[in-house]
Amino acid sequence: MTQTKGLAGVVAAHSAISSIIDDQLTYVGYKIDDLAENSTFEEVIYLLWHLKLPTEQELSALKKELADHAELPREVINHLRSYDLTKVRPMAALRTAVSFLGMLDPEADEISEEANLRKAIRMQARIASIVAAISRIRQGNEPVAPNKDLSFAANFLYMLNDKVPSDMEVEALDKALVLHADHELNASTFTARVCVATLSDIYSGVTAAISALKGPLHGGANEGVMKMLLEIGEEENALPYVKEKLANKEKVMGIGHRVYRSGDPRAKHLKKMSEELTKITGQPKFYNISVQIEDYIKQEKGLPANVDFYSASVYHSLGIETDLFTPIFAISRVSGWIAHILEQYSDNRLIRPRAEYTGPQHQQYVPLSERA
């Protein structure tokens, strides 16, 4: 048996969804740069689920289905109201609400391809409505009903703020959603695949994936980046802060990657957006601080910025609260999780690796009454 800590370098599945080869990311063979510049999030959802770009007709059918299913069942809103959302972390509330959605879906345990695609639409549409509702309810506001005339990104911002967003805001969020949609066998996607490989259902797979995304070494890092930027506060504090972090052997959030060596191809898009948006909002310091940190760690340790690094200042510039950053990652990544879940079902085998046992051997059982 071979063993590698954290499964580094282990190929654990075949997949036709996304690839990372020589530090280049593609979705179904399309370069992430092309998709970020030219596509929309809805097109990417279709691409990931059907492994081809949609025709105009297919795209408008998908948009209509997403819009038609964005309304949350009343039970979910009542469920969200049943706990104190001012104290609960949004990722925990989202995890529980998605699990709850599964309890309400009469098709939850039906895993035929047709039922899975119907559930995929409901999941993708409602996860955005859940995140917006969490934010509204904890501010003491009513959740905003979805607006069927808006795109996925625009509708999310509309439900969040009860205001139709500007084109600039929609374009920025849409691009961020495209960039976060899928990423080969990252930890949350692998979690989803392990879960459904037992032939468990989509809701279970996505609930498990949200749980994995939440951690600060994965999707949770984007919130950590924003906390760091706020703590640093002013540009002159950036270098002393990062030097101290590295001297104390602490990790800097949003930096480093298991797979990329020269750099994460998504980061440059978010970096450009951060530069533009922070200027517009009059807070260029968050971009300038980020650049200082990125450059210093690259020079000292050769570690690149990852997708979480500049997404923090992008979302902050869009007026989004820091603890919604990882839920927004989930709103995008659920498209990739679903694609991988469908792929796993299509050629399934239980995922069950081995562990190398390192504990004691040949122990003699001592009755409870005789133990010291």
Ligand X SMILES: O=C([O-])CC(=O)C(=O)O
User: Which residues of the chain form contacts with ligand ACO (CB under 6 A)?
Assistant: 6, 186, 217-219, 221, 251-258, 301, 303, 306-308
306 binds ligand X (CB under 6 A): yes
Residue closest to 95 by CA, chosen among 196, 223, 177, 205: 205
Q: Which of the residues 257, 269, 316, 340 is marked catalytic?
A: 257
40 binds ligand X (CB under 6 A): no
Residues 152-171 binding ligand X (CB under 6 A) are none
Given candidates 135, 155, 186, 207, which one binds ligand X under the rule CB under 6 A? 186
256 binds, among ligand ACO, ligand X, none (CB under 5 to 8 A by kind): ligand ACO
258 binds ligand X (CB under 6 A): yes
Cβ contact 24:265 at 8 Å: yes
Smallest distance from ligand ACO to CB 22, Å: 18
Nearer to ligand X (CB atom), residue 158 or residue 190: 190
Residue matched to tokens 């345990």? 109
18: β partners? 27
221 binds ligand X (CB under 6 A): no
> Interior CA angle at 216 toward 210 and 220, to 5°?
50
Smallest distance from ligand X to CB 339, Å: 13
Nearer to ligand X (CB atom), residue 201 or residue 264: 264
Nearer to ligand X (CB atom), residue 12 or residue 230: 12
Nearer to ligand ACO (CB atom), residue 85 or residue 238: 238
Q: Among this protein's residues, is 308 annotated catalytic?
A: yes
Residue closest to ligand ACO (Cβ) = 256
255 binds, among ligand X, ligand ACO, none (CB under 5 to 8 A by kind): ligand ACO
254 binds, among ligand X, ligand ACO, none (CB under 5 to 8 A by kind): ligand ACO
Residue closest to ligand X (Cβ) = 186
Q: Among this protein's residues, is 162 annotated catalytic?
A: no
Nearer to ligand ACO (CB atom), residue 137 or residue 303: 303
Smallest distance from ligand ACO to CB 265, Å: 13
Given candidates 183, 193, 245, 271, which one binds ligand X under the rule CB under 6 A? 183
Interface mask toward ligand X for 260-279; x: CB under 6 A: --------------------
| Enzyme catalytic residues | 257, 308
By the criterion CB under 6 A, which residues form the site for ligand X?
A: 183, 186, 258-259, 306-307
